[in-house]
Chain A
Amino acid sequence: MIPVTYRASFSYLLRHPWQLALALLGISVGVAVIVAVDLANASARKAFLLSMDTITGEATHQIIGGPRGVTEDIYTRLRVNHGTRAIAPIIDGAATIDDVTMSILGVDLFAEREIRTFTGEALTRDTDASGANSLFAEFLVTPGAVTTSQQTAKQLGLSVGDTFELFVEGKNQQATLLAILPDDGNGSLDRLLVTDIATAQEWLGLAGWLSRIDVRIADGDQNSLAALEAALPGGTQLLSAAGRTRSTAEMSQAFMTNLTAMSLLALLVGLFLIFNSVNFSVLQRRPLIGVLRALGLTRRQLLAMILVEATVLGSIAAVFGMVLGVALGEQLLELVSRTINDLYFRVNVTNVSIETFSIAKGLIAGVGAALVAAALPAIEATSYQPRLALTRSALERGARRALPTVALTGIAVMASAVLLILTSGSNLVAGLAAVFLLILGFALCVPLFVRFASNLAAPLAGRLGGTSARMAVAGIASGLSRTGVAIVALAIAVSATIGVSVMVDSFRGSVSTWLQQTLQADVYAGLDRSGAMDPDLIETIRNIDGVVDMSTRKRASIEDENGRTELRVFEMPPASYAGAELIDADPSAAWTAWESSDALFVSEPYAYQNNVGAGDTVVLPTDFGPHKFAIAATFQSYDINASGIMMSRATYARHFDDDSIDSLGLYLADGVSADTVIEQIKALSAGRQELYISSNVSLRELSLLIFDRTFVITDILYWLTLGVAFIGILSAMLALQLERAREFATLRALGMTPTQVGSMIITQTGVIGLLSGLAAVPLGVVMAWVLIKVINRRAFGWQIDMSIGPGILLVAVAFAMGAALLAGLYPAYRAGRSQPAIAMREE
């Protein structure tokens, strides 16, 4: 008995290959999006952690100092005076080879054994015929000798023994590839140059300094820890290595969270889509179900049949979805790691890591949603008397009755979202939860809206387009059990695009305005990243004809057990004060305090995250130990790095042993062309130090370009979401119209021309699109507001002015209509072509 019913069920699906394909595609795409985003996020994070793990080695703690690091005599004292053995000095920095950014790891091989082995392993492997371990010796005595991974050597086109050039802090240096690092199989050593500490100091201009001292202390050995801490001078700190890795990873946390939020959005749309596809395939079989019931199948047997089918369908599609998701994820990963590299830290992902959790999530989403989607209509369909199940009207009557209750639930859910926002303080996860509650609540209200709207519009449509138009519009409401889900899916997708577009647009507008204000100097010159410009070169540039004033900047990173703080150290002429918009203090008093006392400005994100503002104090680690600074004001900033502090050069000089400058802002006399000055700086710096030189106009453009690049991912997810929605609407329309083939045939038999039937279908899908689009507008705007004022604020601390271009809304509605119309084309064509007699005879 059972095999027969299953055969009936499957043969039904096989006789409707289009529908089967769409259901499969729908589930697959939904699963794929979930898997892809997860995979990209997880891979980037895992690659980073693996790499940190390898580099950190056995170190349990790290001794760090001020912006330049710790002085090397601290290390010598620890070893020689205190007999501390499980320590190793490290210099780290960055170099560029053919535009590829590499990390430099300067090590002392004699100390490495205590902490990590990969740095020296390669050097013990090969001995030449002369016997003496020349590689080990050469690594020590040859300036510029480096080792790197096989993959990196290949990428750079280098073989062992090759000499090559690299740029470190804008200066050209010579390196020799001495050996290949051991292959750890996960690429965590890629884009890394290991060199002797002497070479690293020479390249980075860090003679006398160490970036940090790695320390290994046995777990729970409080005595050694205390002894070491007691031996450290002020201005140095002993931090846990794991904690430091965490705080580095945390820099990208907000970005990752946003990405996850996008994936959840995709998941939600995906779920709707899956629900939609399966739901339809069951709804369409109501007559079959009725027949089977009449033939004596029990309710349970039928339910089991439908659920087994959904599971099989869901599983097959989920597998396809995962394959698709992995492919998609690899593309996405490229973008994600590029963004992380641009904004946060070096991450080199060679292995796509597919976590069981993502797979499980995809599977559960695929199979689970298919099951739920199938179960609801199945329960409903099997709950009627066999004969009733054969009729549509029973179903529609039930659906109509439920509408007000559903909508009320939706309003309650939305209200709870509002409540959640109001009560959750600055909790980002709660903010995201609120977004989803909003969407869910909204989704529940859409069907009622559609019924009202279509009932209202039907007479209007009748006046405008005659009976067929009237029938088309009225048909939407009467077929709500089938159209409702499609409309909801489309509306949510469209509202998400509105929300995200408005957010990105508003954000971009605010950043653009801010850049305009911030970039006060006419010409900027400096290093790509933190470092030290050649002091002589700075002097030469200052003396260029037409340069009337100059500001200097130094990016410094300081750190304590609470994490990392980015310092921006400025020396600037009063004329450029206007570049910083002080939000919460009287500018003239604040600037005076900033220049002349231990007062600093904090960025808006910093203020938000640390809950401080003008009048508060903040304790920062300095070269002479922790010091309390007054906050003179909060300044507006969209700097991607959340923890920003602006400090005057004079204040910095009092607390840090570092006089380096990494970039200059030049103010030109009236009538002096920026381009001329840029050319001069280029000529002056050529061969001395590679500088990044730009006018304020092109710097602004570049900043916006980077901004846009950051949101490429957002864009891609946005299109994916729309894609998912489009497939949803397409399958819904197709199913709806195909199901009504007999109805159309009847209409044809009654005298409607194929064109009339076709235009009726087109009208109906067009109106569905229009209604979805319209419904999407309020949700989209609310979502944009939540994204801007709640999510972005909570994630980054940014204050963004919301601005809604009417274009975005129009495009969204047009898109919804367009997608729906497109989806109606094939059914219209088919309905128009079908032979009424044959169509009526079928079944």
Chain B
Amino acid sequence: MLIPRTCLVALLASFIFGSAYAEETGAQTSQLADLLGSDADPAFARAIAPRAFVFPQDHGPHPEFRNEWWYVTGNLDNEDGERFGFELTIFRFALTPSVSASKSAWRTNQVYIAHLAVTDADNKRFYVAQRYSRGAAGLAGAQAKPFRVWIDDWEMAGKAETGTWHLIADDEDFGIDLELRALKPPVLNGIDGLSQKSADPSNASYYYSITRLQTEGSLRIGENDYTVSGLSWLDREWSTSALAADQVGWDWFALQLDDGSELMIYGLRLENGTRDPASAGTFVSANGVTTHLAYDDVEISVLEEWSSPEGGSYPSRWLLRVPRFGLELNVTPVISDQELFTTVRYWEGAVDVTGEHELRPVEGRGYVELTGYAEE
């Protein structure tokens, strides 16, 4: 998965201090290219060659890279069969490759941003909140041992005794308190975890996922506490430059099928409306065998569109085909409006899946992220 376009510090200041700035700088595409593009300070580390991933160390931060995120999405139900989706993402962003030594614990080059979203499918409501902080003075940060990523009182933390991850994030109107247990080991996306994002070899990231996590816990909406369970998906990615200048956005699919397999696809869209040949994906079979999917392995057809009340039109139903694995899947958002107005505007929502896998009918659930549609 990719970072939502134009994310992080470029717009952070404007979010913190009002919208005037955002209005003045309509040309967000160029900022995206600058932020995630190739002209970052050469002193940052870059994802160029495959590397050896070591866990649990790699669950922790890689501050020598410019961007990094811990991205958890999931589909949950309560005992009464009510349906929910959630997203908790924590981004790390390095403002500079290094920072001067200081006696002050506040001196840092690390910035953290978190997005929390909950979809209440039955009531067709979508809730969003965010946090931001410097990664210093204990206010926000990330560490591998024991695993913990946090901003203020939102956190993802490893529990040594149970081997689970504990996600806590609470806002005024809603919140989550979930325990996640990995049902499969980490999957390295791309080529051995090196995920190419354009023809330019310097535009790449390190990218792994845990595609199936059993999830239990509680979810709060307003005064109501729901005891929920379901499946989650973790995406971990870090890079210094990932995007090419002519890429305008992407569509990302993370689907969990009821036969035990998972499918991840990202389609990078170019200015001319076509899909970048660097677009790719990963298929994980029920028994854990992973296969890298290249551009040619995947067909994406948009069947329906949804117009945001705030402007812009998003694709809203798809037919995904991966002939190599006999996959033909209909993907439908559980509700249309799952658009986030956080630091940046994007769509990230729970979806339902029906279709065929090797001629056998399958159902599933997942999350889709759509960026680069809001500006039009």
Identify the A interface with B (CB < 8 A): 72-73, 75-76, 79-83, 85, 108-110, 112-113, 117, 120-121, 123-125, 127, 130-133, 135-137, 140-141, 143, 196-199, 201-202, 207-208
A198 and B139 form a contact (CB under 8 A)? no
Which listed residue (B17, B103, B153) contacts A82, Cβ 8 A?
Answer: B153
Q: What per-residue 1/0 map shows which CB atoms of B8-50 lie under 8 Å from chain A?
A: 0111111011101100010000110111000100000000000
A120 and B95 form a contact (CB under 8 A)? no
A110 and B35 form a contact (CB under 8 A)? no
A124 and B34 form a contact (CB under 8 A)? no
A132 and B9 form a contact (CB under 8 A)? yes
A117 and B96 form a contact (CB under 8 A)? no
The 5 residue pairs across chains A and B that have the minimum distance between CB atoms: A83-B153, A136-B13, A198-B107, A131-B34, A201-B104
CB-based nearest A residue for B6: A131
Residue of B95, B100, B136, B150 ringed by the most chain A CB atoms within 10 A: B95
Whole-angstrom CA separation of A79 from B112 in the bound complex: 14
- Take A131-B34, A131-B35 as given contacts and tell me if A141 and B133 are in contact as well, using a CB distance cutoff of 8 Å: no
Whole-angstrom CA separation of A136 from B31 in the bound complex: 15
- Take A83-B152, A112-B16, A141-B96 as given contacts and tell me if A136 and B9 are in contact as well, using a CB distance cutoff of 8 Å: yes
Residues of A within 8 A of B105 (CB): 72, 207-208
A108 and B34 form a contact (CB under 8 A)? no
Cβ of B349 to closest chain A Cβ, rounded Å: 26
B95 and A140 form a contact (CB under 8 A)? yes
- Take A110-B16, A120-B13, A124-B21 as given contacts and tell me if A76 and B153 are in contact as well, using a CB distance cutoff of 8 Å: no
Whole-angstrom CA separation of A40 from B147 in the bound complex: 61
Secondary structure of the A side of the interface?
helix
Residues of B within 8 A of A197 (CB): 104, 106
A76 and B138 form a contact (CB under 8 A)? yes
A132 and B13 form a contact (CB under 8 A)? no
Contacts A/B (CB < 8 Å), 21 sampled: A72-B106, A75-B137, A110-B16, A110-B134, A110-B139, A112-B17, A120-B13, A120-B16, A120-B17, A123-B17, A124-B21, A131-B31, A132-B10, A133-B12, A133-B21, A137-B95, A141-B95, A141-B96, A141-B99, A198-B102, A201-B104
Whole-angstrom CA separation of A625 from B263 in the bound complex: 60
A80 and B138 form a contact (CB under 8 A)? yes
Cβ of A91 to closest chain B Cβ, rounded Å: 9
CB-based nearest B residue for A196: B106
Residues of A within 8 A of B30 (CB): 131
Cβ of B82 to closest chain A Cβ, rounded Å: 26
Q: What per-residue 1/0 map shows which CB atoms of B97-118 lie under 8 Å from chain A?
A: 0011011111111010000000
B18 and A117 form a contact (CB under 8 A)? yes
- Take A76-B138, A112-B16 as given contacts and tell me if A125 and B21 are in contact as well, using a CB distance cutoff of 8 Å: yes
A85 and B152 form a contact (CB under 8 A)? yes
Whole-angstrom CA separation of A264 from B107 in the bound complex: 54
Whole-angstrom CA separation of A123 from B10 in the bound complex: 11
CB-based nearest B residue for A208: B105
Cβ of A433 to closest chain B Cβ, rounded Å: 51
Whole-angstrom CA separation of A125 from B111 in the bound complex: 20
Cβ of A24 to closest chain B Cβ, rounded Å: 53
Q: What per-residue 1/0 map shows which CB atoms of B261-287 lie under 8 Å from chain A?
A: 000000000000000000000000000
B132 CB-CB contact with A under 8 Å: yes
Residue of B9, B11, B104, B133 ringed by the most chain A CB atoms within 10 A: B104
Residues of B within 8 A of A207 (CB): 102-105
Identify the B interface with A (CB < 8 A): 9-14, 16-18, 20-21, 25, 30-31, 33-35, 39, 95-96, 99-100, 102-109, 111, 132-134, 136-139, 150, 152-153, 170
B139 and A79 form a contact (CB under 8 A)? yes
B34 and A132 form a contact (CB under 8 A)? yes
CB-based nearest B residue for A123: B13
Cβ of B173 to closest chain A Cβ, rounded Å: 14
Cβ of A284 to closest chain B Cβ, rounded Å: 68
Residues of B within 8 A of A143 (CB): 100, 102, 107
Residues of A within 8 A of B134 (CB): 108, 110, 140
A110 and B133 form a contact (CB under 8 A)? yes
Residues of B within 8 A of A132 (CB): 9-10, 31, 34-35
Which listed residue (A130, A140, A208) contacts B108, Cβ 8 A?
Answer: A140
Whole-angstrom CA separation of A808 from B291 in the bound complex: 104
A141 and B13 form a contact (CB under 8 A)? no
A137 and B96 form a contact (CB under 8 A)? yes
Given contacts A124-B16, A133-B13, A136-B9, 17 further A-B pairs with CB under 8 A are A79-B152, A80-B153, A108-B106, A108-B134, A110-B134, A113-B16, A124-B13, A127-B25, A131-B31, A131-B35, A133-B10, A133-B12, A141-B99, A201-B103, A201-B104, A201-B106, A207-B102
CB-based nearest B residue for A135: B13
A80 and B139 form a contact (CB under 8 A)? yes
CB-based nearest A residue for B31: A131
B99 and A76 form a contact (CB under 8 A)? no
B17 and A124 form a contact (CB under 8 A)? yes
Cβ of A474 to closest chain B Cβ, rounded Å: 82
Whole-angstrom CA separation of A125 from B14 in the bound complex: 9
Cβ of A803 to closest chain B Cβ, rounded Å: 54
A202 and B18 form a contact (CB under 8 A)? no
CB-based nearest B residue for A127: B25
B152 and A80 form a contact (CB under 8 A)? yes
Whole-angstrom CA separation of A766 from B100 in the bound complex: 79
Which listed residue (A75, A83, A124, A199) contacts B14, Cβ 8 A?
Answer: A124
Which listed residue (A121, A137, A208) contacts B9, Cβ 8 A?
Answer: A137
Which listed residue (A80, A108, A130) contacts B150, Cβ 8 A?
Answer: A80
Which listed residue (B13, B102, B137) contacts A76, Cβ 8 A?
Answer: B137
Cβ of B174 to closest chain A Cβ, rounded Å: 14
CB-based nearest A residue for B11: A133
Cβ of A794 to closest chain B Cβ, rounded Å: 46
B10 and A131 form a contact (CB under 8 A)? yes
Residues of B within 8 A of A130 (CB): 34, 39
Cβ of B172 to closest chain A Cβ, rounded Å: 9
Residues of B within 8 A of A75 (CB): 137
Residues of A within 8 A of B34 (CB): 130-132
Residues of B within 8 A of A127 (CB): 10, 21, 25
CB-based nearest B residue for A117: B17
- Take A108-B106, A140-B108 as given contacts and tell me if A83 and B16 are in contact as well, using a CB distance cutoff of 8 Å: no
Residues of B within 8 A of A201 (CB): 103-104, 106
Residues of B within 8 A of A73 (CB): 138
A136 and B12 form a contact (CB under 8 A)? yes
Whole-angstrom CA separation of A123 from B17 in the bound complex: 9
Cβ of B167 to closest chain A Cβ, rounded Å: 15
A124 and B18 form a contact (CB under 8 A)? yes
A72 and B108 form a contact (CB under 8 A)? no
Residues of A within 8 A of B107 (CB): 143, 198, 202
A83 and B35 form a contact (CB under 8 A)? no
Cβ of A593 to closest chain B Cβ, rounded Å: 39
A113 and B17 form a contact (CB under 8 A)? yes
Cβ of A751 to closest chain B Cβ, rounded Å: 91
Residues of B within 8 A of A112 (CB): 16-17
Cβ of B162 to closest chain A Cβ, rounded Å: 22
Cβ of A46 to closest chain B Cβ, rounded Å: 27
Whole-angstrom CA separation of A744 from B129 in the bound complex: 95
Whole-angstrom CA separation of A201 from B106 in the bound complex: 9
Residues of B within 8 A of A79 (CB): 133, 139, 152-153
Cβ of B193 to closest chain A Cβ, rounded Å: 27
Whole-angstrom CA separation of A763 from B132 in the bound complex: 86
Whole-angstrom CA separation of A314 from B17 in the bound complex: 53
Whole-angstrom CA separation of A197 from B30 in the bound complex: 31
Residues of A within 8 A of B20 (CB): 124
Residues of B within 8 A of A83 (CB): 152-153, 170
Residues of B within 8 A of A199 (CB): 104
Cβ of B181 to closest chain A Cβ, rounded Å: 25
Whole-angstrom CA separation of A196 from B95 in the bound complex: 15
B9 and A133 form a contact (CB under 8 A)? yes
Residue of A72, A127, A140 ringed by the most chain B CB atoms within 10 A: A140
Residues of B within 8 A of A117 (CB): 17-18
Cβ of B127 to closest chain A Cβ, rounded Å: 17
